[in-house]
Copies of this chain bind each other. A is one copy, B any other.
């Protein structure tokens, strides 16, 4: 049994993590702490892997403590920039067997979609991204769509694929979507939807479409569990859940 500590256990994601780990046959929650609880609870409980869904203001302190105490870390909290990653790397330097995963997205389908899009990119003349979300979303396009577009763009550039064909000369403003690097992204906001994304690739005579539908926050849990099981096998700092997957 993997001994798991959940940091931010009373938050929405943290609470889901507690439930998911407890339902898993090979892991157990031995510590579930939140803002008011001391980090020493983790060491006292003998935590092997800590899962952190907190916020940018406290996550670095949590990580410093865990690394110092030889606890592997799975982190879904956002806000990691270059300086933070450097600091984390320096903390990890004297701990060659310790693993830390920072992942922006634990939905396995989102991770697979992005990776497949990246792999397919160089084989097609055209690629565009459609993302569809509930109408309460504040930004367009979604971060995942923009990231997917960037991966496609970079893969095409690396392979020397020429610019996409597009004869449009008369465009009503916005019809052709927004450009993320050189990939078009289209954002729909539809009542009743949750979070959905479709990447469409095409060349003469055929198209390939990769669609991900995320219907519930529960969809992140298989990815969190996968990370909990794999983190000890991947020493050092890993960015993105795909690093733990066979892709």
Nearest residue (CB) in B for A125 is B191
Interface size class of A (residues with CB under 8 A): 35 or more
A102 at the interface (CB under 8 A from B): no
Please tell me which stretch of A6-14, A47-55, A87-95, A104-112 contacts chain B, meaning at least 4 of its Cβ atoms lie within 8 angstroms of it.
Answer: A104-112
CB proximity of A176 to chain B, nearest CB, Å? 5
Q: CA A43 – CA B209 in complex, angstroms?
A: 42
CA distance A46 to B135 in the complex (A): 39
Given the known inter-chain contacts A123-B245, A173-B178, please indicate yes or no for A205 contacting B188, CB distance below 8 A. no
CA distance A215 to B139 in the complex (A): 23
Scoring A residues 225 to 247 as 1 if CB is less than 8 Å from chain B, else 0, what string do you get? 01000000000000000000111
A78 to chain B, nearest CB (A): 16
Asked if A186 contacts B186 (CB within 8 A), the reply is yes
**Of listed A175, A200, A215, A218, residue having the most chain B CB within 10 A:** A175
Do A219 and B205 touch across chains, with their CB atoms under 8 A apart? yes
Most central of A109, A180, A203 by chain B CB within 10 Å: A109
Q: When chains A and B are docked, how far (Å) is the Cα of A180 from the Cα of B174?
A: 11
CB–CB B222/A204 < 8 A: yes
Considering the chains assembled together, what is the distance between the CA atoms of A204 and B152 in angstroms?
A: 28
Determine how close the nearest CB of chain B comes to the CB of A230; give it in whole angstroms: 13
Pick the contact of A130: B130, B137, B208, B214 (CB < 8 A).
B130
Besides the known contacts A186-B186, A192-B203, A206-B212, 15 further A-B residue pairs in the complex with CB atoms under 8 A apart: A109-B201, A112-B116, A123-B245, A139-B171, A140-B171, A140-B172, A146-B172, A176-B187, A194-B215, A203-B219, A203-B222, A205-B216, A209-B213, A210-B210, A211-B211
Name A's B-contacting residues (CB within 8 A): 107-109, 112-113, 116, 119-120, 123-128, 130, 132, 135-141, 146, 164-180, 184-194, 200-222, 226, 245-247
